[in-house]
């Protein structure tokens, strides 16, 4: 049998085997996945898997992505779109196909574009033609409930899994979430306010916002019990809170309820109705939950607030004719860019700025068996200031002049608390009826919970002024008519996000922001920065030299009676020529430095291309050759063993 025939047969068998393996893989491994990214960007968290696995009815998710206009947007949108599709497919697999996916590419001036706009998807103008680029998601359930992500922002890729899973969770729920509101501040407005001559004081905008999104149930401070259908409570400024109410909240949390707490070492909004501003200066404005905080393993620093010179807001002082803008270190504009907002938590991960006023400091108690995750914190240019400086009329200039930042410590202003904890009232309701004669009075009451069965989930914010209108919205008026409100900061989004997060399932709360999708070449950036720094240093040196030469030339020209080179002495003329030549050489050196800098950057780019295009195939080829050599040697060894036998 000829070698040519054997070779032909071998190639035919190899081709048949190749086709057969692909058919087999398509049928059996079509849903197999291997995530090799460093931060497991395509691997779903257990919380997401459990949420989609519990779906009772199908949910349809339609991704609108404009393929036709994608060439006119930055490349990061294309790669991010691929990631969105892959995560959606992972969710579909985990749901047992209860999720129905549809990918639509809206063409310009088409019916699909009209449908995308009608669904609430935002189109961004691109290119010279200004055709719209669409990149959003619409979700619907069997009852036509709708949730929309108008536009996917690649810079917020850390929250992709959370946002997708949240959409699915909301579509699987049929009613508004119930939220209990227990406030010791008049955030719901005041009827017949004495300070307003009997007029009604309107609710704060934060109240209007949460009432639009949640089924809010007001809880009176003297309530004998908490609403049974509420699993999230927002507690605001519990100044003078009764021991009875603290016990109710203690049991609420231990039984699985979620709590969003706002306390304050100095609440500037604390102005009881009926008192004038001078009277309010003499009343305490602090609030705390010492008993509950102690049981949860945290503390609120007493009598001090956190100041930060880097995050300080400007306030207006002086008169109308001579206004003055002054830095007020007690009022802070916490921003994502400065690292004041946690990017790891879904509540703060997508926000840009939150404004606070005289915020307190939260700390975890040593050895407390809890997880303490900061959500809002100061920078290192911060210090603690006594609240007595705010009791009367504060002096921003004096505070700034006396400000001495520690330079090392950051202070936590808001935190998420989780973990198993014990009751702050081991014996039960402190106002329970006395025990019958002869029985111990410290015997636990029926129904009393002494320790949480599951980890608690509480968010504590050490500032109540964060809720005030003046710190996050600006009123727009036409005469006496209020046209609307313009958002200045993300305070409202923070509150809504916290309530939404706490009101979700434990699985949804467990989903944290993932690693960044866009990974910069850190080493490349370092090389570029070093080259740029080197170029700038050399350029500064040569620019200084050239400036000095120009000064000397001008000095020589000034020595001429007419200011012209024709009237110079031979010595001066020669020196002028030398200086002209030195100036030309300096300019040449500058061009050479710039050329070498660009040359090094291009060479670096070329090396990276070679590494990506050639190195990896070479590595794979060497691996294949090594594997072939290993197999050949193994066959030879097997044959040798058989011949010996």
Is the Cα torsion angle 310, 313, 319, 320 positive or negative in sign?
Answer: positive
Other C-beta atoms within 10 Å of 626: how many?
10
- Give the pLDDT band of residue 19 (cuts 50, 70, 90): low
Query: How far is the C-alpha of 411 from the C-alpha of 306, rounded, in Å?
Result: 7
Query: How far is the C-alpha of 449 from the C-alpha of 420, rounded, in Å?
Result: 12
- Average pLDDT of the chain, as a whole number: 81
Query: Residue 28 above 60 pLDDT?
Result: no
- Nearest 5°: CA angle at 366, between 361 and 367? 140
> Of 63-72, 430-439, 549-558, where does the model show the most confidence?
63-72
Query: How far is the C-alpha of 296 from the C-alpha of 368, rounded, in Å?
Result: 8
Q: Exposure of 492 by Cβ count < 10 A (0-12 exposed, 13-18 middle, 19+ buried)?
A: buried
Q: Which percentage of the chain shows pLDDT scores above 90? A: 40
Cα maximum dimension of the chain:
123
3-state helix, strand, coil in the chain (%, to 5): 40, 20, 40
- Give the pLDDT band of residue 555 (cuts 50, 70, 90): confident
HSE (CB half, 13 Å, CA atoms) of 529?
Answer: 6
Of residues 509 and 208, which shows the higher confidence score?
Answer: 208
Residue 156 has a pLDDT of 76
Structure tokens given for 326: 């002054």
What's the pTM value of the predicted model, to 2 decimals?
0.65
Nearest to 250 by CA among 217, 304, 289: 289
Residue 502 has a pLDDT of 92
Query: Residue 463 above 70 pLDDT?
Result: yes
Query: What would the mean pLDDT of 455-473 be, rounded to a whole number?
Result: 95
Structure tokens given for 602: 């291009």
Query: What would the mean pLDDT of 459-471 be, rounded to a whole number?
Result: 96
Read off the pLDDT of residues 29-73 as tens digits, 9 standing for 90 and up.
Answer: 445 555 545 555 567 888 788 889 989 889 999 999 999 888 888
Nearest to 359 by CA among 271, 458, 266, 290: 266
Judged by DSSP in three states, 500 sits in helix
Contact at 8 Å (CB) between 300 and 461?
no
User: Which backbone phi and psi does 436 adopt, to 5 degrees?
Assistant: -55, 155
Query: Residue 367 above 80 pLDDT?
Result: yes
Query: What would the mean pLDDT of 132-148 be, rounded to a whole number?
Result: 92
Query: How far is the C-alpha of 173 from the C-alpha of 147, rounded, in Å?
Result: 12
Q: What is the separation of C-alpha 166 from the centre of its chain, rounded to a whole number of angstroms?
A: 15
Contact at 8 Å (CB) between 482 and 466?
no
Query: How far is the C-alpha of 406 from the C-alpha of 494, rounded, in Å?
Result: 28
Q: How far is CA 437 from CA 127, 440, 441, 448, in A?
A: 86, 8, 9, 21
Read off the pLDDT of residues 177-188 as tens digits, 9 standing for 90 and up.
Answer: 899 999 999 999
- Give the pLDDT band of residue 518 (cuts 50, 70, 90): very low
Q: Hey, which residues does 298 pair with through a beta bridge?
A: 364
Contact at 8 Å (CB) between 97 and 25?
no
- Categorise residue 619: left if φ over 0, alpha if ψ from -120 to 50, beta otherwise: alpha
Read off the pLDDT of residues 90-102 as tens digits, 9 standing for 90 and up.
Answer: 999 999 989 999 9
Element (H, E) at 408: none
Structure tokens given for 228: 């049974």
Residue 517 has a pLDDT of 44
Judged by DSSP in three states, 610 sits in helix
- One-letter-per-residue 3-state SS of 211-269: HHHCEEEECCCCCCCCCCCCCEEEEECCCCCCHHHHHHHHHHHHCCCEEEEECECCCCC
Residue 560 has a pLDDT of 60
Query: How far is the C-alpha of 199 from the C-alpha of 192, rounded, in Å?
Result: 5
Q: How far is CA 292 from CA 227, 249, 297, 426, 503, in A?
A: 20, 9, 9, 12, 21
Read off the pLDDT of residues 452-462 as tens digits, 9 standing for 90 and up.
Answer: 999 999 999 99
Read off the pLDDT of residues 243-276 as tens digits, 9 standing for 90 and up.
Answer: 999 999 999 999 999 999 999 999 999 887 666 6
Is the Cα torsion angle 124, 126, 130, 134 positive or negative in sign?
Answer: negative
Judged by DSSP in three states, 356 sits in strand
């Amino acid at each position: 049998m000829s070698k040519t025939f054997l070779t032909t047969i071998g190639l035919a068998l190899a081709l048949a085997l190749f086709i057969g393996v692909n058919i087999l893989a398509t049928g059996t491994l079509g849903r197999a996945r291997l995530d090799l990214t460093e931060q497991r960007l395509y691997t779903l968290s257990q919380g997401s898997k459990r949420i989609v696995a519990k779906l009772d009815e199908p949910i349809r998710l339609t991704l609108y992505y404009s393929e036709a206009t994608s060439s006119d947007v930055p490349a990061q949108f294309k790669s991010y779109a691929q990631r969105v599709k892959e995560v959606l497919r992972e969710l579909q697999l985990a749901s047992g196909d209860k999720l129905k996916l549809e990918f639509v590419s809206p063409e310009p001036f088409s019916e699909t574009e009209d449908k995308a706009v009608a669904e609430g998807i935002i189109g961004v103008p691109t290119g010279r033609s200004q055709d719209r680029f669409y990149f959003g998601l619409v979700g619907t359930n069997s009852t036509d409930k709708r949730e929309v992500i108008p536009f996917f922002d690649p810079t917020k890729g850390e929250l992709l899994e959370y946002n997708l899973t949240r959409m699915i969770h909301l579509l699987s729920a049929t009613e508004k979430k119930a939220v209990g509101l227990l406030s010791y501040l008049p955030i719901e407005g005041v009827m017949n306010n004495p300070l307003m001559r009997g007029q009604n004081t309107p609710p704060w905008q934060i109240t209007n916002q949460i009432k639009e999104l949640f089924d809010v149930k007001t809880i009176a401070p003297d309530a004998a019990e908490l609403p049974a259908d509420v699993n999230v409570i927002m507690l605001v400024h519990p100044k003078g809170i009764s021991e009875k109410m603290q016990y109710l909240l203690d049991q609420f949390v231990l039984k699985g309820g979620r709590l969003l707490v706002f306390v304050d070492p100095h609440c500037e909004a604390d102005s009881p109705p009926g008192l004038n501003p001078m009277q309010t200066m003499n009343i305490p404005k602090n609030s705390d939950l010492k008993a509950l905080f102690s049981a949860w393993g945290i503390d609120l620093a007493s009598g001090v607030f956190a100041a930060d010179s880097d995050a300080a807001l400007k306030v207006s002082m002086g008169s109308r004719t001579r206004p003055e803008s002054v830095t007020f270190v007690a009022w802070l504009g916490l921003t994502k860019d400065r690292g004041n907002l946690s990017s790891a938590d879904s509540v703060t991960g997508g926000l840009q700025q939150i404004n606070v006023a005289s915020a307190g400091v939260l700390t975890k108690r040593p050895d407390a068996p809890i997880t303490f995750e900061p959500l809002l914190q100061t920078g290192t240019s911060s210090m603690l200031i006594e609240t007595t400086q705010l009791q009367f009329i504060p002096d921003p200039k004096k505070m700034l002049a006396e400000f001495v930042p520690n330079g090392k410590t950051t202070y936590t202003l808001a935190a998420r608390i989780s973990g198993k904890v014990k009751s702050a009232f081991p014996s039960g309701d402190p106002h329970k009826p006395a025990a019958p004669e002869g029985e111990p009075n410290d015997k636990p009451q029926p129904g009393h919970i002494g320790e949480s069965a599951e980890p608690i989930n509480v968010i504590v914010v050490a500032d109540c002024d964060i809720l005030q209108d003046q710190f996050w919205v600006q009123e727009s008026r036409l005469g006496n008519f209020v046209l609307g409100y313009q958002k200045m900061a993300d305070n409202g989004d923070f509150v809504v996000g916290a309530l939404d997060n706490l009101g979700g399932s434990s699985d949804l709360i467990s989903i944290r922001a993932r690693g960044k999708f866009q990974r910069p070449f850190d080493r490349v950036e370092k090389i570029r920065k070093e080259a740029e720094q080197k170029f700038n240093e050399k350029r500064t040196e040569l620019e200084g030299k050239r400036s000095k030469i120009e000064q000397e030339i001008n000095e020589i020209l000034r020595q001429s009676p007419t200011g012209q080179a024709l009237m110079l002495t031979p010595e001066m003329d020669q020196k002028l020529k030398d200086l002209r030549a030195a100036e030309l050489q300096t300019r040449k050196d500058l061009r050479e430095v710039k050329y070498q800098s660009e040359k090094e950057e291009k060479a670096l780019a070329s090396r990276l291309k070679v590494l990506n295009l050639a190195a990896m195939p070479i590595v794979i080829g060497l691996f294949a050759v090594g594997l072939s050599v290993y197999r050949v040697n193994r066959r030879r060894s097997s044959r040798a063993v058989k011949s010996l036998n």
